[in-house]
């Protein structure tokens, strides 16, 4: 029985049909627009996001395969608000990259609220997370807070928006992994926290029901998509969590990095770990037996760095950027800090801005191209080292997935800088594969097996060269945070 995994990401939506043996039977993809209406703001059209999902489903269904169930993995923290009666969005999807809620976060910090927010939710007061975004959306709608408290408006993350549409408005639900990224769920009770809802001004009545990640989330409605009515939806997970599950890293000691528009490093922990190094406590996923905790570090602009510099240099595509970077043996002392949407973990400085340092008369576009790829690897390096410190262990390898993981040069730089082997998954669609595995388990059938790594990148850089790169990077970081 094939499982259809919908992987709704920041810049594209994929549908991946997974067979019982883990074979990818078919894929479909649509790009999704992100617009930047003001400096530091990022948003999408909720209608366009849903349309992209309907289109990839239709493309897969047209291939004629029998589909037994649906699983969902989705971009996290992005916030959506819609009218319960009409099902129409009443504002944009406020992206996880968006900084419009920064003033609210700063005001709450000034009031001394951050320790309590961190204790309850595992998350620092940062505009990445959903609560401030939902509050902004409610402020922007006439009588938004009143209508939400009456249940006339529905609020949630992208998974809940997709579930609402797939079920024809029959279900307003989310899972623990997505809920744990909102700053509204209490990690101890695994339910919405009334105090956090009050603090951010988001009525609990507007929020979705929180279910285990492998729950039965409903059935597809007639006419909602090309899928037959009654197709069960048996899993929902945030994309980073789904990738962790796709790697098969279900216990302590393993770590993965999903390298996409941003990057997420995550490791399962036996219980909640309180970070002393700028990481977040979160829920990896939940099943009938309970929830698994995890430690995570989020990087705001990761793979997006390469896309940004590709455009800046007027190159055709990111392959051209890598080819250009390969023409020089090093960056010539050039360092790029891609704080284009502030800095995420482990620094959490949303006021930081991007900069380029170390240029001289001998600097060429190739040096900047190489510095861009180094910057992606160096950000992951910082989170990896913070993860080791918080877990009090040496992590032997780093498992990687995501679109940017297909770049061989980047993966070699990453292995060199963390001084650990990097194991690349054999499929970029690991979030979708993780959702498919969990959906199969939720149905009580054999889950597709975990796929072995496609390639291992072994460290080859000297300790001296590594130290020089890291030292220049840390100096540049200090300048970006001034």
The residue among 107 and 260 whose pLDDT is bigger is 107
* Residue 336: φ, ψ to 5°: -110, 125
Given CA atoms 383, 386, 387, 393 in this order, what sign does their dihedral have? positive
Closest-CA residue to 161 (of 219, 218, 91, 87): 87
Q: Quote the pTM value.
A: 0.90
pLDDT at 447 over 80: no
- Note the pLDDT tens digit of each residue in 3-51: 999 999 998 999 999 988 888 899 999 999 999 999 889 999 999 999 9
According to DSSP, the β-strands at 209-211 and 2-8 are: unpaired
Q: Which residues pair with 13 in a beta bridge?
A: 8, 30
- Note the pLDDT tens digit of each residue in 67-78: 999 999 999 999
Report the percentage of the chain scoring pLDDT > 70. Answer: 100
Q: Which residues pair with 192 in a beta bridge?
A: 185
Integer Cα distance of 363 and 172 in angstroms:
54
pLDDT value of residue 116: 96
> How far is C-alpha 192 from the geometric centre of its chain's CA atoms?
21
- Note the pLDDT tens digit of each residue in 464-476: 999 999 999 999 9
pLDDT value of residue 164: 98
Report helix, strand or coil for 55.
helix
pLDDT at 310 over 80: yes
Q: Is 410 left (phi over 0), alpha (psi -120 to 50) or beta?
A: alpha
Integer Cα distance of 284 and 193 in angstroms:
19
- Note the pLDDT tens digit of each residue in 205-215: 999 999 999 99
Integer Cα distance of 350 and 40 in angstroms:
9
Integer Cα distance of 413 and 416 in angstroms:
5
Alpha carbons within 13 A on the beta-carbon side of 459: 16
Q: List the structure tokens of 366.
A: 């190739």
User: Can you give the length of the chain in residues?
Assistant: 482
Report the percentage of the chain scoring pLDDT > 90. Answer: 81
pLDDT at 459 over 90: yes
Report helix, strand or coil for 347.
coil
Q: List the structure tokens of 155.
A: 């609020």
- Note the pLDDT tens digit of each residue in 143-168: 999 999 999 999 999 999 999 999 99
């Amino acid at each position: 029985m094939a499982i259809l995994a919908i992987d709704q990401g920041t810049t594209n939506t994929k549908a991946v049909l997974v067979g019982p043996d883990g074979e990818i039977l078919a894929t479909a993809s649509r790009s999704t627009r992100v617009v930047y209406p003001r400096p530091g703001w990022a948003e999408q059209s909720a209608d366009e996001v849903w349309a992209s999902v309907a289109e990839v489903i239709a493309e897969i269904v047209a291939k004629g395969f029998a589909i037994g169930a649906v699983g969902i993995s989705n971009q996290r923290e992005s916030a959506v608000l819609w009218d319960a009666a009409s099902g129409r969005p009443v504002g944009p999807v406020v992206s996880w990259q968006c900084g419009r809620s920064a003033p609210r976060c700063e005001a709450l910090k000034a009031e001394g609220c951050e320790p309590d927010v961190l204790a309850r939710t595992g998350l620092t007061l940062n505009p990445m997370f959903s609560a401030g975004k939902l509050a902004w959306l409610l402020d922007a709608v006439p009588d938004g807070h009143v209508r939400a408290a009456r249940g006339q408006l529905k609020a949630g993350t992208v998974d809940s928006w997709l579930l609402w549409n797939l079920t024809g408005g029959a279900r307003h639900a989310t899972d623990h992994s997505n809920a744990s990224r909102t700053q509204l769920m209490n990690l101890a009770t695994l339910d919405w926290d009334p105090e956090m809802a009050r603090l951010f001004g988001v009525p609990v009545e507007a929020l979705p029901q929180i279910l285990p990640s492998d729950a039965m989330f409903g059935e597809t409605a007639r006419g909602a998509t090309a899928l037959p009515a009654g197709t069960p939806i048996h899993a929902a997970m945030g994309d980073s969590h789904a990738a962790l599950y796709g790697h098969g890293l279900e216990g302590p000691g393993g770590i993965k990095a999903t390298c996409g528009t941003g990057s997420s490093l995550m490791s399962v922990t036996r219980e909640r770990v309180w970070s002393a190094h700028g990481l977040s406590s979160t829920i990896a996923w939940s099943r009938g037996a309970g929830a698994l905790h995890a430690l995570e570090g989020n990087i705001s602009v990761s793979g997006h760095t390469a896309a940004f510099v590709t455009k800046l240099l007027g190159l055709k595509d990111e392959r051209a950027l890598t080819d250009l970077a390969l023409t020089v043996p090093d960056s010539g002392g050039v360092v790029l800090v891609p704080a284009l949407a502030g800095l995420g973990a482990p620094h959490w400085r949303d006021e930081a801005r991007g900069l380029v340092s170390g240029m001289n008369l001998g600097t060429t576009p190739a040096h900047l191209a190489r510095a861009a790829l180094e910057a992606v690897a160096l950000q992951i390096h910082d989170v990896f080292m913070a993860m080791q410190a918080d877990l009090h262990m040496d992590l032997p390898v780093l498992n990687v997935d995501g679109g940017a993981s297909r770049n061989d040069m980047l993966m070699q730089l990453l292995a060199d800088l963390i001084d650990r082997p990097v194991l690349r998954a054999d499929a970029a669609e690991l979030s979708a594969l993780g959702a498919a595995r969990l959906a199969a388990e939720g149905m009580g059938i054999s889950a597709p097996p975990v796929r072995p790594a496609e390639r291992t990148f072994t460290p080859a850089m000297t300790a001296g060269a590594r130290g020089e790169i890291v030292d220049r990077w840390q100096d540049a970081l200090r300048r970006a945070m001034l």
